[in-house]
Structure 1
Amino acid sequence: MVDKSEKFNWLVRVGYFSRAILYAVLGLIALTSADQIAQGTDGIFQAIENYPAGTVILWIMVVGLLAYALFRFCSPLFDIENNGSDTKGWAKRIGHAGSGIGHLVLAYSAFQFASNSGGSSGGGAQGAASGVLSMDFGGVILGLLGVAFFVTAIFQFKKGISGEFMHRISNAAPDFTRWLGGAGYCARGVVYAVIGWSLFKAGFMSAGAEQVKTLGDAVASLAGAGLIFTVTAIGLLLFGVFSLILARYRIIPDLDSSAGVPSFRA
């Protein structure tokens, strides 16, 4: 059983709060600072580090992003979101696993800055990818991880367009939550697709570990894409605001392995 105590719920809410800071800062610097966004994920944490009480905020993000990653891993392991075990349910659960891996990487990057041990989040991800590629079938593993990110990207777009994420949010949330989430999820779909493509190329097309992109690197790679870059950056900023609302109004689901397909999917 997953620990569904009040402590677990609060950890998940801190995770959403940390995600809010991350995406709001990412969208903001993408729109306002070409030099900083060019630094990829490091630019995000450097910006936070320079804020008043920046180190304290970074430590909160370390705990929060780690908690959020573990929450996402509960989906494939324990089906905490009650997506079911049919093909559609497993596709969502695999997508959540990809999200968990991505947020673990971000938690480690935040830890590096919070502990004053330096940045290089992109280099860290590429180093890890290089280690995977050196293993037997490492390319397949990395390529399949890219596929997991593609699956996640598809479901991000689907969530944004359909608004199905509102089933997990309290009715007390502000009325504009639906539109914030719709824009934010579609923007995340773009970013996750870029990350997935980088992993797919590194794993299945022998493009090398240096092709692997983290969250900030993926956004930076869109900088020359004109309107796509601007719309994605605005969407990520809105997703930060949306995540702040989730920190208060997200319904943390109970684990019920006997429930089967959720009623709102029937």
Structure 2
Amino acid sequence: MVDKSEKFNWAVRVGYFSRAILYAVLGLVALTSAGRIAEGTDGVFLAIEDYPAGTVLLWIMAVGLTAYALFRFCSLLFDIENNGSDSKGWAKRVGHAGSGIGHLVLAYSAFKFANDSASSSSGGGAEEAAAGILSVELGGIVLGVLGVIFFAVAVFQAKKGISGDFMHRISPAAPSATRWLGGVGFCARAVVYAVIGWSLVQAGFFSQGADEVKTLGDAVASLAGEGPIFTITAIGLLTFGLFSLILARYRIIPDMDSSKGIPKFRI
């Protein structure tokens, strides 16, 4: 019988595999199809839908990205990455929660396309979620704060890419190219997260509306007129997809206690 820890382990690995598909296709579409990348995140999912067994891939992504988002939320709630409870540790954990929110929105978009209910959508889950937040009292502040969190995540992404400290959570058996693949990928993702953060700040603090909110593909599309920055970022995202594929196999995932549902090192 498979225990909870092993189920958790497999769920996270499927999450990394789903993330690998997402970023690899995002980078590929940005580099090869101006029309598709102009459609933002929708264009990425439409590209996946056109692949052989594309609908199956979308369902895997819907499940996998949800699992990955929950993994990131567990970092906030249970500190499964052992970041600690000092100010630096909490900053990382809150950043992981921001990543979880972003990937949960992407999982919802993947579900909509897999369910064949998003063929005529424009903007997907991000704008719907943002509109819902803005419709409640203090919703603008919530959205703006979320944007600030994404800025913080962007800084951490860049720091990880430059320092290479992400290698501490990867098995020594991983390919030798893992360090530079991750370094390039994290720096590219920092650029995209900064764009997403700015869109949330504009929508929340400056009342520019839910239409301003960008997800992954939309953020990349907004860089299309920036010349080398766009090309370098697109190559970096493709590289991050390859890096995520390595993580699906070689990422060190904390064992969970089968009865308490928390990391064993916390017991």
Structure 2 length normalisation: TM-score? 0.93
Deviations 1:184-230 (A, max 9, x none): 00000000000000001111111211110011000000000000000
Q: In 1, Cα distance between the equivalents of 2:91 and 2:264? A: 19
Gaps of 5+ in 1: 260-266
1:19 deviation in Å? 0.4
Query: Which runs of structure 2 are paired with 1:224-235 in the superposition (5 Å)?
Result: 224-235=225-236
Amino acid at match of 2:11: L
SS at match of 1:55: helix
1:253 deviation in Å? 2.0
Whether contact under 8 Å (2:62, 2:107) holds in the other structure is yes
**2:98 is the alignment partner of 1:98:** yes
Question: What is aligned with 1:137?
Answer: 138
Q: Calculate percent identity across the aligned residue pairs.
A: 78
Q: In 1, Cα distance between the equivalents of 2:124 and 2:41? A: 10
Question: What is aligned with 2:158?
Answer: 157
Question: What is aligned with 1:88?
Answer: 88
1:121 deviation in Å? 6.4
More deviation, 27-36/116-125: 116-125
Amino acid at match of 2:207: S
Question: What is aligned with 2:48?
Answer: 48
Query: Which runs of structure 2 are paired with 1:87-126 in the superposition (5 Å)?
Result: 87-119=87-119, 120=121, 122-126=123-127
Structure 1 length normalisation: TM-score? 0.94
Amino acid at match of 1:96: H
Query: Which runs of structure 2 are paired with 1:156-175 in the superposition (5 Å)?
Result: 156-175=157-176
SS at match of 2:123: helix
Gaps of 5+ in 2: 256-262
Whether contact under 8 Å (1:62, 1:107) holds in the other structure is yes
Amino acid at match of 1:124: G
Residues 108 and 154 (structure 1), Cα distance of their counterparts in 2 relative to 1, 3 Å cut: same
1:118 deviation in Å? 1.5
**2:105 is the alignment partner of 1:128:** no
Deviations 1:162-185 (A, max 9, x none): 000000000000111000000000
Whether contact under 8 Å (1:55, 1:114) holds in the other structure is yes
Question: What is aligned with 1:59?
Answer: 59
Whether contact under 8 Å (1:79, 1:257) holds in the other structure is no
Q: In 1, Cα distance between the equivalents of 2:100 and 2:85? A: 19
Residues 256 and 88 (structure 1), Cα distance of their counterparts in 2 relative to 1, 3 Å cut: farther
